[in-house]
Amino acid sequence: MSPLAELPPRVRLVTAPMGIWGSFRTARRNLLGLIPEIATRQPIVSGRTGKRWHMVMDPEANRHILKDRVEDYPKSDVTKLILAPAIGQSLFIAEGAHWHWQRRAAAPAFSPRNVTALAPVMTAAAERASARIAGQAGRAADLYQEMVTTTFEVISDVTFSGGEAFDRAAVHRAIDAYIAQTARISLLDIVGAPPWVPRPGRLVSGPAMRDMKRVADTAIEARRKSGPRPAPDLLDLLLEGVDPETGRRMDTAELRDNLLTFIVAGHETTALTLAWALYLCAFDPAVQDRARAEAQAVLGARAAGAADLDSLPYIRQIIDEALRLYPPAAFLSRTARKADRLCGREVRPGDTVMLPIYALHRNHLLWRDPDRFDPDRFADPKAIDRFAYLPFGAGPRICIGASFALQEAVIVLATLLARFRFSRVPGRDPDPVLILTLRPQGGVWLEVERI
């Protein structure tokens, strides 16, 4: 690669120690700013900011943490403090037996057959997105906001389809308030204060979260009374879900917390994947043209569906590469329960062990020209180490909705690229900023041209 070749936007990583106050200010602004630049060239980096920490960018160590010794590396207290106000003790943050039974009960809802059955909802949302974007042809549009709208329609329709008791606007407002306030790092998190010490900033979005939970509870109870729909949605599937080992079913609070997990994670992360993918296609017109040719050959004038997925390999490669460069969950954090060694480094009980996925995906030891946009690096997925590429995590706690998200992303991206050409707006490139997810600050503004 020429040293003069343009690269898509990246985060400026830290090159000198920042101390507690500097770390706090940086984390409030952009959590990825805590990652040292050297983390993109080494397998592990350790330090102390209030408490001992280790950043791990080594596939074998990742396998150890996420698969072989997963019980010894539970999600960190900070992760639980940030997420619990919205999603309680749902699958995403529950531990041990409480996690196991929920996973067993929920797994059938995300079987390949059920995910495929939900594809028509995604196709319909892609058609509506196409109609909205067509109305903006000839000028710049914020494709990030368009993708947020699209994926929220999908997750709402597959979660509470036809549910008049489900106030989508109220839920959307609550999610925005939660991410804006509750999801930000506190100084008390940086210094390692115990979980029982109140974080004042996390009280701000409390009323909105209570409203969201009340809306969800009302919708769940209404569905219990009305019974399942002719075409079961995610709520129906979870209501039917039962732990095959114990016979236990989720009560209303457990159903609500898991549904809100899927709503918060399911629409935000897929919207980000699509927004970054569209930006990257505009960034590299040759990639966009190749993807468009593939989509048009397969789809003609119609929108994509589940039956088209195997015929759209290059579209899928673009999605995979967007997830590598801009992983929505770009920073995972665990707490070591037992003494251990990672990459030859001593790990003590209580140490924070971080998996900075952003740095892992751009590590020079693992990827050639890691900051370059190149979908062809995913032409042979088997050539990529499973634990070097972690957009959905790995091991037993891999994201339960990964296949759902990938199916939706390919359907929407293929439909849009077959119908529109997207170009960058000079001076309006997005800035990658991680608060809870890796968002394009300033939006993804692209010129839209109908084909």
pLDDT in tens, 228-247: 878 888 889 999 999 999 99
The CATH number of residue 299's host domain is 1.10.630.10
Q: Is the pLDDT of residue 317 over 60?
A: yes
Tokens in use for 347? 């790990």
Q: 392, 404, 420, 422: which is the annotated catalytic residue?
A: 392
Range of the domain at 264: 19-450
Q: Residue 183: inside a domain, yes or no?
A: yes
Residue 352 bears catalytic tag: no
CA distances 64 to 74, 76, 97, 113, Å, are: 13, 17, 20, 31
Q: Residue 11: inside a domain, yes or no?
A: no
Tokens in use for 76? 């960190």
Residue 15 bears catalytic tag: no
Confidence band for 196, pLDDT divided at 50, 70 and 90:
very low
Q: Residue 359: inside a domain, yes or no?
A: yes
Percent of the chain's residues with pLDDT above 70: 87
Q: Residue 7: inside a domain, yes or no?
A: no
- Residue 159 · residue 262 · CB < 8 Å: yes
Q: Is the pLDDT of residue 178 over 80?
A: no
Q: Residue 5: inside a domain, yes or no?
A: no
Q: Residue 4: inside a domain, yes or no?
A: no
Say how far apart CA 433 and CA 24 lie, in whole Å.
15
What's the whole-number mean pLDDT along residues 117-128? 96
The pLDDT, as a whole number, for residue 4 is 46
The pLDDT, as a whole number, for residue 232 is 85
Q: What is the mean pLDDT of the chain?
A: 88
Q: Residue 92: inside a domain, yes or no?
A: yes
Residue 281 bears catalytic tag: no
Q: How many domains does the chain have?
A: 1
Q: Residue 1: inside a domain, yes or no?
A: no
Tokens in use for 87? 């999603």
Q: 26, 49, 110, 399: which is the annotated catalytic residue?
A: 399
Q: 40, 159, 261, 269: which is the annotated catalytic residue?
A: 269
Higher-scoring residue by pLDDT: 183, 51: 51
What's the whole-number mean pLDDT along residues 360-381? 97
Say how far apart CA 319 and CA 336 lie, in whole Å.
33
pLDDT tens digit sequence for 386-402: 999 999 999 999 999 99
